[in-house]
Amino acid sequence: MNKKQRAQAIKTLFLHHYPNPKTELKYNNLYELLVSVMLSAQCTDKRINLVTPALFAKYPTPALLAQAPLESVKELIKSVSFFNNKAQNLIKMAQQVLHTFDGKIPTTQEELKTLAGVGQKTANVVLIEYFEANFMAVDTHVFRTSHRLGLSYAKSAQQTEADLTKAFKTDLSILHQAFVLFGRYICKAQKPQCQQCFVQDFCMTQSNFKPA
């Protein structure tokens, strides 16, 4: 089995096991999704879901968040990792949305990336989840599992994204969500659940790969 056939076989198994995977972040609109994804960097979805209800109750729109006192936002998200920087970015992002995009969250990768605290991964995750856009986003779960399966040997998340996009080409939104769930519950960083693994035949190693 060559590299292309191997990637196709893995893709087929993932699409079969995760026919309709979705993010575990709880949101009601594009604004809430963007904020949740921004907060989720290096933090668990479970923690974000505990924090966002109060945040969205107090600041339900970009216009209100844009005017929020920094200390108020910090207080609401203080249990989230890097809450100081994230609070600053949330307010600045909301101000940019208000002044540059007429109060509407932009819907293209390039426009999203102009917002404070929004890199390519965050932009892609938002577009994948909300629009089912054909993008791949590489978080720690996707990075680890794709390297364990020999789908990429890149040292950075962005190059890994390029490798996976090239290998899979289509159904990227589904595959991104599937790899996240797979890494979160089966192919864990520590003590992977190999007995439950449906792609065990393709596993190269149990090493815990992290982006450089």
Give catalytic residues, as residue numbers: 121, 139
Contact at 8 Å (CB) between 197 and 186?
A: yes
Contact at 8 Å (CB) between 211 and 140?
A: yes
Nearest to 109 by CA among 117, 101, 118, 100: 118
Contact at 8 Å (CB) between 172 and 160?
A: no
**Helix or strand (DSSP H, E) at 157:** helix 157-168
CA atoms within 13 Å, Cβ hemisphere of 72: 13
Q: Which two tokens stand for residue 98?
A: 């208000």
Contact at 8 Å (CB) between 168 and 136?
A: yes
Residue 16: count other Cβ atoms within 10 Å of its Cβ: 10
Instruction: Name every residue whose Cβ is closer than 8 Å to that of residue 49 and which is 6 or more positions away in sequence.
Output: 24, 25, 26
Contact at 8 Å (CB) between 86 and 115?
A: no
Contact at 8 Å (CB) between 156 and 212?
A: yes
